[in-house]
Structure 1
Amino acid sequence: MCSAKSNSYNFSLKAFYQTFLFLFLLSTLPIFSQGVGQYPVQVSTVVLPNPPMYLSAYSGVETDKLSVTLLNRDTQQSSLQVKLRMRIYCSQGQEISSRAESLYTPITLEGGIPLRLSMSDLAAYFRTENLRIAGSLPQGKLPVGHTRFCFEVLEYYTGRLLSSQGCGSAFIVLQTPPLLQQPSHGSLLTDDPTGGILFRWSPQHSVGLERVQYEFILKEMFDTQQSAELGFAHGVEVYRTHTTATSLLYGMMQPPLIAGKRYVWQVRAFTDPISGTPLAFENNGQSRVFTFDIDYPCQAPQPIIATAHTNGIHLTWDASPHPSASYHLSYRRKDFSSTWHQAVTTSNSYTISNLTPRANYEYKVGISCTNKTNDIHYGTVAYIAYNPDDSETSSATTQTKVKECGKSTPNNISNTEPKETLWAGDVIYAGDFTITLSTVQGSNGRFTGEGKVHVPYLSGIGMSVYFSDISINTDNQLIEGKIHTVYDESRGTIIDLDAFDHGGTTTPAQGVLVPSYKFDFALTDVTRIHNDPLTNSLSFYDATGSRVGNYELTGTAPSFP
């Protein structure tokens, strides 16, 4: 009986201690429960917008995109020595976690006092040697998309879990490369070394504006049929430089650009790792590529060399290198004419004909490199006194040539190289005759057209001519073919004056004489001459039919042939 009571007593005592231990453990269970908010430490994680894409950026101290706040809520243990466990969940399934075996600096949490951990405090958890990465992260770069940064608190020495996960989310994005602005794609520019070419671009990235640098690259394209991208890939580099500005003035200190060439340029945005957290850009920070062409200079020709001849004033100048250049000549009498006479040529010379001797003429030469009529750049106005008697074809020379009227000019031309092209306004030479072309067709030395010949035997008088399939050499000399004068008897501009000069005799004096006629009016605009046999005079009319002047003849012939 006693033995049975003793066993019963021992059983009851054992049950009491078990019950007490159970109740004690039950009272402490909420502190270590896995339920949310039942751990002694509370974790809050904050991730600001546009966090860095590279993990290495989080191991520095210059970024403030991530912070963790810890609060010790355990009233029974006022001070805790803890460490963190970090997990990063990427949008493409990669998971990054801190290594438990790594050594971290203990974090002391005082009861009831929140502790904020900045990136300088968290940097050790992002170092490469302290990370375990599940999945592929080339160059330690987080993928674009939604990313969660989660932290848990562990007791420092035992590794016991003291908090639930505190997570912060952000969207990882690539920064946008710069946007090229000037010169625009496909521009046509004139290389002006004094003013230079201004290149401009605008930043498109949203963070790190003060730390971004730009690499400017300029290349020459050889195949203008290629796309801009291929032209840049295969082009020859002309100039490269780095700058923190968003513009670049390309001037005399840079390699010269060549007229007629096409160039392609690009700007790359980047951050120097030494200067701070690197930024990840789309397309490695490279902008689009733009092309531009360097046009030939289109400047008014200077100087203009003017020479007076019996057949007019011959103007010459240096040809422009622009392939589309055309020259616009304007001239007028300086004394009373207010109307500018116009002429256009693609050659670098022109002869102004039908001028009044011993009169002063103003002239200017402009250039146009487009098809726009208002896009003409004129040089300065100059003037010349037209005195053909003082020119190289003087009156004495004319007398000599008159004596040889009808004599064949020996063909001593040795140059047989064909002229490639001729243009209206050009001058060709047939023996002693100078022909100014009004219309011309053909190429490679064979030409057909019309013009005006200046006859040295008739004091340089101009006569209309035409020619067909003649051969011209590179000295503008006729080497084969015939040039024919145009005579229209009904127009009356060419008449026989022998009857007046020789008293109406049917047998004129032997030889060729050069009569001298003096008029008190200009013959420049005369288009028709009328003979009046009753008054024995000639009347001169202009293109409008108005009479310019009248001249009385001294001969006695009753009529003209």
Structure 2
Amino acid sequence: MKLSIYNTFRIVLLAGMLLCAGHFRSAAQQYAVKVQVQLLQPVSPQLANLYSGTQPRMIITLLNIDLQKPSLSVRLRLTIKGGNAMLRNKDYGYYPGIQLDAGVPLRLTLDDLAPYFQISNLDATGISPSQLLENSRLPDGYYTFCIEVVEVNSGQVISASALGCSSPVWISTSQPPLLNLPLKGGGIAYREPLNLTFNWTPRHMSSANAAFQTEYEFTLSELWDTTIPPEAAFLNTAPLYQTITPATTLLYGPAQPQLIPGKRYAWRVKAKAKMGIDEYDVFLNNGYSEIYTFILQEDCQPPQQVLATVEKNVVTVSWLPQPKMSEYIVEYRESKDDAEWFNVKTSEDHVAIYDAIPGRSYEYRVGGYCVAETKTMGDLHGFKMPAKDSSVNKNCGLLPDIKLANQTAIKELKNGDQIMAGDFPVRLMTVSGAGTFQGTGYVMIPFLSDAKIKVKFNNITVNTNRQLLTGLILTTFDSLETQVVKAGDVIQAVKDLGSVVIDLAHLSIDADYILVKEMADEIRKIAEDELPQELKDKAIKAADKLENSKKEYDEAKKEYENATTPEEKAAAKDKMDKAKETFEEAKKEVDAIEKEKAKVVDVVTDLMVKAIRNLKKKYDQEKRTATESTLAQTRKELKELITATKKALLNGAEVPADGAISPDAAIIFIDSTSVSGADDSDFSRLSEAYKKAEQEQNKLTAIDIFDRDITNKEYYNLLVQIFRINGAHLVDFINDEKKNNKTEAQIVDELSEKVENLIIELLSK
């Protein structure tokens, strides 16, 4: 009985010890301080905005839950984690102590937080210290703000690191507004009463910064000094009018300071992001837009009753004359925002546009000059070109009968002007001269799918209707030269993998998918044409990776744009980053393949040089002399035989010398060495001997050319292509020979034989 009680006591004691151990272990995992971090969105990329102002944007609450320590003296450790950058408080910085009473939550003030955001107290990775010192601004991306509590006396962390972090927040810097009206450098016609409309486009509405209350500071100045750049004059001139508005349009009317006709004015807009009375730095360039200028002209109204008519692919724009205008200008472009503006100038009340592309829509405006160098433009209008008529080229090749009634020569032409050379519009790219002109341009050829062909001209004259009077405009077309194309319209054909690598270096994943696909297709084509099998497989794989990663990136980008929660945006951003990483890997793989190809070229070229020189040794000086002698002898004998044959055909008379043949004489051309009546065996023998000697001589010439130029890349590529046509790739042939344990000397001998046979085959063709 005593033994049973004793055993029971031991079991209870052991259980109690285990419970105590579990209690102490659990207690060891508890921290003395709880931390709660809350960020109020949107969050400014400027660090100072998190601890300054009247309203805190970062709320931190600390709670001392260690009842055994009724008062704790602590400091914080701030860590800002982003995808590309991280900031962390230094351990040896100066941080005022914070007193925490047990059980009493403490919400930190802006003054409490300020030391932790000082640049001198932060270590940065992923962002240069100079960049951080310059503007104290975080790069765009997702960030998490974490707070750890450190006891001042012991230096130990007494809060849970994982529980002291905010939710991920998106931080970005937005572009300043884009100015629209009045147009930059334009002229505004003075009217009574004067009502000017200033308009701009905000460029932050698609970002989180749109949640701020945005207002705009509008500034207008009169520029007195017109000899310096308008931007400098604006910054050194007191504002004529300045106001703040929440709208993106401002009406400047009679209630504002009066503007003077003939004066030059400049204006800009500053975007401000605000919450209450606090202003936040979320815009580049401190929110300042570009500076635009305009001239308030004397009463210079744009032309009225503007009309465009389209007939036979020619657009005629007409208008009512404006007596105050000395010259008119018609500006036109395709109906899309990024299209390039073209213009035609005239002193008449109409103008013809010849280079509009069939099937496309255009917008245009008509204006003119009341004062030199200052144009006033009217409203935008539009026209649509009809689809191309298949019969439009039925008179291709016929010269039109052009009679110009206007023989008055124009005195001045400028870059970008358009003139007519016959039925062809010529756009001047560079032009110089006065009265007679020289320069370059391009002409659009309708029957070549409206191709733009480079031209040059010298000493031409043009009438006031901008029609060619005298002189020649010559095309500079070269099949090896890229003709005039608008940037982005045509992908230039690349010649080899090296040039593809150069193009890839400037290609980003944000480029248009068509551009990436065409680049990938070019890599596949070059791999098929230029590379041996092993490198070809690698190149095709890299091209597939390049194209597929672009597809994945575009799909992820759409997901990101359509995401409605931070989590969805973060997931889409990860996909975009992975696709971008794969894209860059593919570019590096293509670069590596080009380097491998360069090594192969060196090896193959070295072997080919040895093969050619080995072949040249075969044709030593003695053999060369014999070949030349045989060629000369057979040529002489064949010529004598042909002369004798001609004499026989002329009944024994001497063959007349050149120029002594009478008008009635019958001229006999002997273009064959087989002539009826002659000894066929002699002709056949001499003809065969002559051809053989000539072929040997040509073979020697070809060998000498190869020997001289085989190290040139063009000859290497020529041989590679010829060998591919006649069988295996040259590199594959050499690799196969090496795999068969052939020595270099044996490979050189076989290459010499192949080159000789190749030359014979080419000469026989």
The structure whose Rg is larger is 1
TM-score (norm 1): 0.40
Higher relative contact order (CA 8 A, sep 6+): 1
The structure whose residues are more often strand, as a share, is 1
